[in-house]
Structure 1
Amino acid sequence: MADEVKLFAIAISPFVCRVKLALNMKGIKYQNLEEDFPNRSTQLLRYNPLHKKVPVLVHNGNPISESLVIVEYIDDVWKQVPIFPQDPYQKAVARFWVKFIDEKCIPALHNVFGNNGGEQVVAEACENLQVLENEVGVKGKRFFGGDNMDIVDIVAGFIAYWLGLMEEATQIKIFTEDKFPKLTKWSDEFVNCQVVKEILPPRSLEILPPRSLVLAYYKKRFSKG
């Protein structure tokens, strides 16, 4: 009997895209259930009553919430194309970088656009990006995970794609090739991978909104008036 896999999603969410990328990397077929926020479906509220948000993966009737928890679950259940390193030490290192990106980098970037590009918040965001600049491409690696993407690349995908949309929406540019050449090269490699292109808003328009709608979301979010 085939697995039943459903994903409660919203296309503009980078956290949903993490899960879609993990499923795509593994070649797992799933039913994409697009939510209409703020009108959450009764199913979503039943499966995630605590946070009432996406993503929620439902595997054979069992719901799993929170993007990183879902991705790790996917990696544990479907063994093909590992997302987390198999070596315990390397796995711990990957988790360290995931935590750094989620708890330091992404909040700092949001602060830049939420505070109209203030000098102090820009400096903090660039300092965090510089840490990643120093890490990616070490010893000629194509991705953070080496020659193939891993969990760090999935989480850092926010920088590769969504950061550019926020910059375009606010006309505040901090992520430039001259400042971050290795991170820019990594970003280009990431967004041009077929498994990534298939789940980003410019593609698969039958189930995802055009890029312009995602851009409009960020313009509204960071608007000052």
Structure 2
Amino acid sequence: MATNQEDVKLLGVVGSPFFCRVQIALKFKGIEYEFVKEDLTNKSDLLLKYNPVHKKIPVLVHNEKPISESLVILEYIDEVWKQNPILSSDPYQKSLARFWSKFIDDKIVTSSFKAVYAVNDEKERQKNVEESTEALQILENELKNKYFGGEEINFVDIAAVFIAFWIPLIQDIAELKLFNAEKYPKLYKWSQEFLNHPAVKEHVPARDPLFAFFKAKYDALVSASK
């Protein structure tokens, strides 16, 4: 657990996959922290102070030192708190974890969101759906064990929370065909195991209110594009 000498704050928004990553890592490590809820439509002075470059969440503040960008924060957490490591000490394995986590952000997170927002451009939507599904197939082929980390979750599993929870959500909202058990049996089984892991289950948001919130935003986007 974090000691009394350590002040750990986490600025974020429930419903963000990037914020959720950090919550899972902190839970996995057994680190207590103060959750500072942000309003992204009216960003706090604290957020602007701690992340003046991107002005985004999440931001981890450890003893008044801010760290931004979820994957960078995960590495920091693993370096500072050595218990329950999420990155291998082997340089090659560590580099692979970084590679696959960046692959998830660049090829799956980005293209999935682009597919959702391309409400009036079917060609653009299909292009991004294809990019997402091709990347998911690559990950399907890469998954060899219960988790990407073997028998316990690691850095890549935590980075992939977007696939396990948010892709099924956004594909239902936008009526996309991205992820299912038939096409990606190993990845789908992994997603169920991962979402039921104690460190994960506690921090993925409730689906129904999140679905209602994003569906309303999506419907408004569709209406505005007509």
Contact 1:165-1:218 within 8 A present in 2 as well: no
Q: In 2, Cα distance between the equivalents of 1:213 and 1:84?
A: 33
**Structure 2 residue corresponding to 1:115, chosen from 118, 124, 127:** 118
> Which one of 103, 106, 109 corresponds to residue 106 of structure 2?
103
For 1:115 and 1:126, how far apart are their aligned partners in 2?
A: 16
Question: Whole-Å Cα distance in 1 between the matches of residues 158 and 111 of structure 2?
Answer: 18
Shift of 1:146: 0.6
| Counterpart for residue 25 of structure 2 | 22
Is residue 76 of structure 2 the alignment partner of residue 80 of structure 1?
no
CA displacement, residues 18-39 of structure 1 (integer Å, 9 cap, x when unaligned) = 1111100000000001112211
Alignment match, 1:197 = 201
Deviation at 1:120, TM superposition (A): 3.3
Matched, 1:212 2:208: yes
Whole-angstrom distance in 2 between the partners of 1:181 and 1:214: 26
1:69 aligns with 2:72: yes
Question: Could you give the per-residue CA deviations for residues 171-214 of structure 1, whole angstroms, max 9, x where no partner exists?
Answer: 22321111110000000011011110111112xxxxxxxx3332
Residue 51 (structure 2) aligns with? 48
Where 2:208 maps in the other structure, the secondary structure is: helix
Contact 2:173–2:218, Cα closer than 8 Å, also in 1: no
Q: Offset at 1:221? A: 4.0
The letter of the residue matching 2:128 is V
Give structure 2 stretches of 5+ with no counterpart.
Answer: none
| Distance apart, 1:77 and its partner CA | 0.5
- Partners of 1:51 and 1:122 lie apart in 2 by 27
Given that 2:167 and 2:178 are in contact with CA atoms closer than 8 Å, whether structure 1 keeps it comes out as no
Q: Quote the Cα distance in structure 1 between the aligned partners of 2:208 and 2:76.
A: 32
Task: Name the counterpart of 1:133.
Answer: 140
Check 1:171–1:4 CA distance in 2 against 1; reply closer, same or farther (3 A cut): same
**1:201 to 1:62, Cα distance in 2 relative to 1, 3 A:** same
Matched residues in 1 for 2:103 and 2:62: separation?
A: 29
Distance 2:210 2:108 in 1: 21
Determine if contact 1:143/1:186 at 8 Å carries over to the other structure.
yes
Local SS of the residue matching 1:73: helix
RMSD (CA atoms):
1.5
State the alpha-carbon separation in 2 of the partners of residues 2 and 148 from structure 1: 30
DSSP-derived class of the 1:224 partner: helix
Q: Tell me the secondary structure at the aligned position of residue 160 of structure 2.
A: helix
AA matched with 1:115: A
Distance 2:23 2:150 in 1: 21
After TM superposition, the structure 1 stretch with the greater mean CA deviation from structure 2, 142-151 or 166-175, is 166-175
1:32 equivalent in structure 2? 35
Higher alpha-carbon deviation: 98-107 or 176-185: 98-107
Rounded to whole Å, the distance in 2 between the matches of 1:144 and 1:24 is 18
- Whether the aligned pair in 1 keeps the contact of 2:174 and 2:218 (CA below 8 Å) is no
Could you tell me which runs of 5 or more consecutive residues in structure 1 were left unpaired when the two chains were aligned.
Answer: 203-210
